[in-house]
Structure 1
Amino acid sequence: MSLRGCDQPGLMPLEEARAHLLAQAVCQVGTERCPIDKAVGRVLARDVHSLVDVPPADNSAMDGYAVRLSDLAADRDTWLPVGPRIPAGVEAGALPAGTAARIFTGAEIPEGADAVVMQEKVTTSEGGVLIPAGVSAQQNIRPRGQDIARGSLVLPAGSRVSAVALGVLASAGLAEVEVFRPLRVAVLSTGDELVEPGRPLARGQIYNSNRYLVEALLHSMGMQVVTSGIVADTQSATESALCQAAENADVILTTGGVSVGEEDHVKAVIERLGRLDIWKINIKPGKPFAAGFVNDVPLYALPGNPGSALITFALLAQPCLLKAQGMRVPTPFCLPVKAGFSRTKAQGRDEFLRVACSTDGFVKPSGNQSSGTLSSLLQTDGLVRIPGGEIVQEGQQLMFYPLSALLQQ
């Protein structure tokens, strides 16, 4: 498929690049059974249906008194003797006619009862309770299967198990689920200037922040990281590292080496070992993003600047990784916000500006916007998209992408 940015001049629009990459992403990992207490972060390989009704029987939503409406006067308070006492976790039995049962939250409704009157609404004395007029049918009763019906779909295949989902699975009686095997992602950092934290820096060197950023994101997505270390800025080293990564991983993720400098070899090596599908995207930061295949293994090449690396990971690489992991890929979540700033100079590319939300309902730029800076993201709530060629007036509506949603955190 011929695409702009590969063999045609110009930059590829973000949505076009994302759609093409997602169309090519395929889940090829196997599946395994997993106990639910180990399933957080895993992706379901099959639909999950409830084994039980939740709740399994009608139960009380309040501490109070279970009654039969047929025992109550319609237009006045009714005095009833108190019969059984029903705490949660015991079999309720039947409610004797003409009596009220003392019942507690979560306890099973006794047979024959059709309402619960909360304890704050009644008057009690030795051996009896005064029930006020106006009690309605099924008042304060949670019906059987109100939350989940037996046999109903709890979670579809492709869902990632969250802490909330884990609780729902447990309530539905599931002890284990079938999940996809974790995707193996090889992470390569290119650049002679890179040094691992903890080692002394020589002049001209910087610490390798991209590796730790990207690997942490992959771990949070439930994926297995295959660390390939720092790759020297030579064609032979790049080729060797990419070939080894293709043998050991399902997907390759690189940072750096995809620009047009003499020391940038990733693009050329991809073209020699496989094929380059996408290069240069119409976004700022992140234009030199590339994607293709090395020995039939998908590769996503992020820019070396950490700000660009994070944004292209979130917008382009991450959706494809999630699909390859078997997950249903959500549409990027965004919402309208008002600009608490102005921009009088238009940019040529669509710009994703780091912003913080203020208490007055506006968003404002959060520190340094350079593609080489990362620390300003600590004060960033999300990104706003400014279309290429447009200026921004204060109070103008912009589309806001929360960082937590973009990074699936």
Structure 2
Amino acid sequence: MAQLSDDCFAFGGALMSVDEAQALIAARIPPAEGEEIVALTAARGRVLAHDLVAATPLPPFANAAVDGWAFRHADLRPDAPTRLVEAGRVAAGHRAARPLAPGEASRVFTGAPMPPGADSCVMQEDATREGSAILVPPGLKRGANARPAGEDVAAGALALPAGRLIGPAEAGLAAALGRATLQVRRLPRVGVFSTGDELAEPGGALAPAQTFDSNRFTLLSLLGGLPCVASDLGIVPDDAARTAAALTTAARDHDLLLTSGGVSTGEEDHVRSAIEASGKLVFWRLAVKPGRPAAMGVLPRAGSDFAAGGTPVVGLPGNPVAAVVCFLHLARPLLLRLAGAQDRPLPRFAATADFTYRKKAGRREYVRVTLATDDGQTRARKFPREGAGLLTSLTESDGFAELPEAITGVAPGDRITVLPFAGML
């Protein structure tokens, strides 16, 4: 479990900006404790626990980058072809029989060790064979078509820093450095609730005035792309005692709890009061649209001194689009902190607005947009409907236009920032 410091966990009542919330998370949420060793084949999606330092250089020896001939650059004539005597042949996985003498060229193949004495290569397409000799054209630079030892990573150099999320490229680099296993951080355990009497389980029957729960499955899917072990904790009814009991119980064996719904000001919104009853409310209400009714708190763990640590809880709004926005900006960075991962900003790129929009200053807004390329420019068009409960606004659009707190509107032709759904949702 993480050991959270709670000396700043005093809710003041004002709306908190997205940047302030993320800064608080970065300052106050330490990684969950625990490490393990995993096979490289099982390391994808895990977080490296310690710096990976190269024990040997990569590549481990100077080698040919092409099929051709290796030679001493000092033997070349600067302004005319140079005739070199062919001496020896080195294939990948083998070593030269002897050092290369002046005036000689050795036949080499891609990946083969450079013969001792050789420092450059000519591609076979660029050389001319004349019996037992080859002609090397002028103009080749010293070191041409040759890869020095350590060109990629020098011995003793940092190859991958602690906190790096392991993907295909990282796994390949670790393998190239001879690592069959990696020491990684323990995956945080995340519990996911939905709240509300109006929700029914998909696959079952709907009672009058009920809808099928969708947020829980959206959140579990989002968590599937992050370094964690997610647990489906079902639906909690609109009951204060049962909500408090469910959160308290789940806090015992989870590193993070996510809820959706129940954090607004209605009489049947019990998540916030449950957090306040047994834990600490860090903040409530975020200066963001959609998504203002969002809360973060920390609950004590059974059998431990609360001051020494606790389980963070993120209460997300009930509306699906608002839940996604708040997940991306609150739950995601919090989870990455718990996982010990480096900061991984959400993908963003610039686009040209193809719509008009007015907003309030002091609040960050996320507008759903579709994207199109026109005359080499990426243009963002506002999705025609704005409701935070419209799931189709996520499936039928391409991303969020991120409108910062300072601006009060967008006009066609304005440059804006877009967070694409591809690779994020």
Do the structures match in fold with TM over 0.5?
yes
1:314-325 equivalences under 5 Å are: 314-325=328-339
The percent identity for this pair of structures is 39
User: What does residue range 108-147 of structure 1 map to in structure 2 within 5 Å?
Assistant: 108-147=113-152
Partner of residue 73, structure 2? 69
Q: 1:68 to 1:298 in 2, by over 3 A?
A: same
Distance 1:190 1:378, change over 3 A: same
Secondary structure class of the residue paired with 2:87: strand
* 1:284-299 superposed matches below 5 A: 284-295=289-300, 296-299=310-313
1:276 to partner: Cα distance: 1.2
Please say which of residues 106-115 and 305-314 is displaced more in the overlay.
Answer: 106-115
Shift of 1:77: 1.7
Q: Work out whether residues 50 and 173 of structure 1, in 8 Å CA contact, stay in contact via their aligned partners in 2.
A: no
Partner of 2:292, secondary structure, is coil
Deviation at 1:73, TM superposition (A): 3.3
Deviation digits for residues 116-174 of structure 1 (CA, Å, limit 9, x no counterpart): 01111112244332222233321111111000011110111111111111111111222
Q: Which residue in 2 is equivalent to 1:301?
A: 315
In structure 2, give the amino acid aligned to 1:26: P
Q: Tell whether 2:93 aligns with 1:89.
A: yes
Shift in Å, 1:325: 1.1
Q: Give me the TM-score of the superposition, normalised by structure 2.
A: 0.89
**1:353 aligned counterpart, secondary structure:** strand
Partner of 1:358: 372
Match of 2:159 among 128, 139, 154: 154
Residue number in structure 1 paired with 2:105: 100
User: 2:183 pairs with 155, 178, 181, which one?
Assistant: 178
Matched, 1:373 2:373: no
Distance in 1 between residues matched to 2:41 and 2:394, nearest whole Å: 33
Other-structure match for 1:342? 356
What corresponds to 1:209 in structure 2?
214
Q: 1:12 to 1:345 in 2, by over 3 A?
A: closer
Alignment-mate amino acid for residue 394 of structure 2? L
Could you tell me how far 1:393 is from its partner in structure 2?
A: 0.9
User: C-alpha displacement at 1:247, in angstroms?
Assistant: 1.3
The reply to whether residue 50 of structure 1 matches residue 64 of structure 2 is no
CA distances 1:86-125 after superposition (whole Å, capped 9, x unpaired): 1211112422443321111111111111210111111224
Which stretch shifts more, 217-226 or 386-395? 386-395
Kept in 1, the 8 Å contact 2:227–2:336? The answer is no
CA distance in 2, matches of 1:92, 1:215: 56
1:273 is the counterpart of 2:278: yes
Moved more, 333-342 or 144-153: 333-342
Structure 2 gaps of 5+ residues are 1-6, 301-309
Deviations 1:50-70 (A, max 9, x none): 121111111111111112234
Provide the C-alpha distance between the structure 1 equivalents of 2:351 and 2:268, rounded to a whole number of angstroms: 41
CA distance in 2: counterparts of 1:138 and 1:365, whole angstroms: 54
Please point out which of 38, 41, 66 is paired with 2:45.
41
Shift of 1:367: 5.0
Aligned residue number for residue 26 of structure 1: 30
Amino acid at match of 2:400: L
AA partner of residue 183 (structure 1): P
The CA deviation at 1:3 is 8.6
Looking at structure 1, the residues matched to 296 and 32 of structure 2 have their Cα atoms a distance apart, in angstroms, of 18
CA distance in structure 2 between the aligned counterparts of 1:122 and 1:350, rounded to whole angstroms: 62
One-letter amino acid of the counterpart of residue 210, structure 1: N
* TM-score in terms of structure 1 length: 0.92
Secondary structure in structure 1 of the residue aligned to 2:232 = strand
Indicate whether 1:399 and 2:417 are aligned: yes
Secondary structure, counterpart of 2:77 in structure 1: coil
Q: Deviations over 1:279-299 (max 9, x none)?
A: 111111000000111223211
Structure 1 residues 253 and 362, CA, compared in 2 at 3 Å: closer, same or farther?
A: same
Q: Deviations over 1:230-261 (max 9, x none)?
A: 11111122112111111121111111111112
The CA RMSD over aligned residues, in Å, is: 2.2
